[in-house]
Amino acid sequence: AYTTKVSRNANIAKLQAGYLFPEIARRRAAHLLKHPDAKIISLGIGDTTEPIPEVITNAMAERAHALSTVDGYSGYGAEQGEKKLRAAIAATYYADLGIDETDIFVSDGAKCDISRLQVLFGSKVKIAVQDPSYPAYVDSSVIMGQTDLYQQDVQKYGNIEYMRCSPENGFFPDLSKVPRTDIIFFCSPNNPTGAAASRDQLTQLVKFAKDNGSIIVYDSAYAMYISDDSPKSIFEIPGAKEVALETASFSKYAGFTGVRLGWTVVPKELLFSDGHPVAKDFNRIVCTSFNGASTISQAGGLGCLSPEGLKAMQDVVGFYKENTKIIVDTFESLGFNVYGAKNAPYVWVHFPDRNSWDVFAEILEKANVVTTPGSGFGPGGEGFVRVSAFGHRENIIEAARRLKQLYK
């Protein structure tokens, strides 16, 4: 066959297998091919299942209809998002934290923003990640050329700092042992462990970043799941604006995984070493590589942040939190050690000394339940599986029944 003379991007060639979640979808499909009658329940990818409250979809339908009218039509919006939505996000989530509406960049989701942030930082930076953590941080770093090759023996990429988070350290890294990096990705409540960092821990993290001159990329996509007094934003920590930006999403609050809407906060106070504001360069990336979130999704965002919308989102979050409790009770009744769950829609179940892909396969084959193998989130996830609490109640109950059968 004819081949061009264009070399394949060597950074992409470094990536191992497929991106985690498509890989799980592939294995699920293979299982279904072998067992066409299997009634599979997915507690894997973390995909929302409950209908979006009507107050929110009505706002979107209304905007869609308005686009057919002369007065209601709008074309290109501001790349940074509609002023009204930016103001509503600032007022709802960052009141009294010194975050201004102009610090908010509305986006089509946190995952997309993470990649845009990597393009912003470029290939010369070194990142740190919690281990385990959401795989998009590491994979986007590899793609941008920030890393060396994958090292099979330790299951890590070279030139990434993996900050081990385990039951032994309460899922918060021992910062005294972490070397300086330029960027620190930090997700709290964490995906996959479900652990939310306390105010004291985040104060340590901000101090650590400030001492090192690092930038924290704080992922707060699950903040509304917090039940205790853990901070919901890094900007609750004094001084964070000088060392952190924050990415967030409507996906897990309003069921917007398919609607696509999130935001990133880049405070004006966050400066590169030459004094240039990070927000200014991020704005350039957003204007060059992105054209704004869909106006209809943005209308949905405004619906979410109305008084009725906020109440409705609380109900959605509350429903998934009840699911979490059912899953926790199930595994605990079977004698497993279970983590997370209190402040997150994820249950992190310990299978000591077992390979997590083997456990994944066992649960899929014997219970027809899809989970996510912990090692997919980094070597620190080995011996765990993540069980997502997103699901219809009857499916959660049925999955619990099958798991009890399997591990009784």
Cα 47 to Cα 263: distance, rounded to the nearest angstrom: 19
By CB under 8 A, tell whether 264 contacts its own copies.
no
The footprint of its own copies on residues 126-145 (CB under 8 A) is 136, 139-140, 143-145
> Which of 158, 167, 170, 213 touches its own copies by CB under 8 A?
213
By CB under 8 A, is residue 179 in contact with its own copies? no
**Length in residues, the chain:** 408
Residue with tokens 């009294």: 96
Q: Report CA-CA distances (Å) from 16 to 122, 128, 139, 151.
A: 21, 19, 9, 10
Stretch that binds its own copies, among 152-160, 191-199, 200-208, 274-282 (CB under 8 A): 274-282
Contacts of residue 304, defined as CB under 8 A and 6 or more positions apart, other chains included, come to 56, 250, 253, 254, 256, 310, 313
Work out how close the CB of 297 gets to its own copies at its nearest, in angstroms, rounded to a whole number.
5
Indicate whether 247 belongs to the interface with its own copies (CB under 8 A): no
> Which residues inside 13-72 make contact with its own copies, applying CB under 8 A?
13, 15, 18-19, 21-22, 45, 47-54, 56-58, 60-62, 64-65, 67-70, 72
CA 264, 265, 268, 270 torsion: positive or negative? negative
Q: Which amino acid is at 110?
A: A
Q: Does 259 bind its own copies (CB under 8 A)?
A: yes
**CA-based nearest residue to 221, from 181, 194, 242:** 194
Q: Is 98 in the site for its own copies (CB under 8 A)?
A: no
Contact status: 258 vs its own copies (CB under 8 A): yes
Q: Which CB atom, from 77 or from 379, has the smaller least distance to its own copies?
A: 77
Closer residue to its own copies, CB minimum distance, 53 or 374: 53
Q: Please report, as residue ranges, which positions from 290 to 319 form the binding site for its own copies (by CB under 8 A).
A: 290-297, 300
Smallest gap from Cβ 300 to its own copies, in A, equals: 8
> Contact at 8 Å (CB) between 278 and 271?
yes
Q: Which is nearer to its own copies, 122 or 167 (CB)?
A: 122
Joined together, the tokens standing for residue 166 give 């385990």
Tokens of 78: 């501001």
Tell how strand 127-131 and strand 183-187 pair up: parallel
Residue span 376-405 as binding mask against its own copies, x where in contact by CB under 8 A, dash where not:
--------------x-x-------------
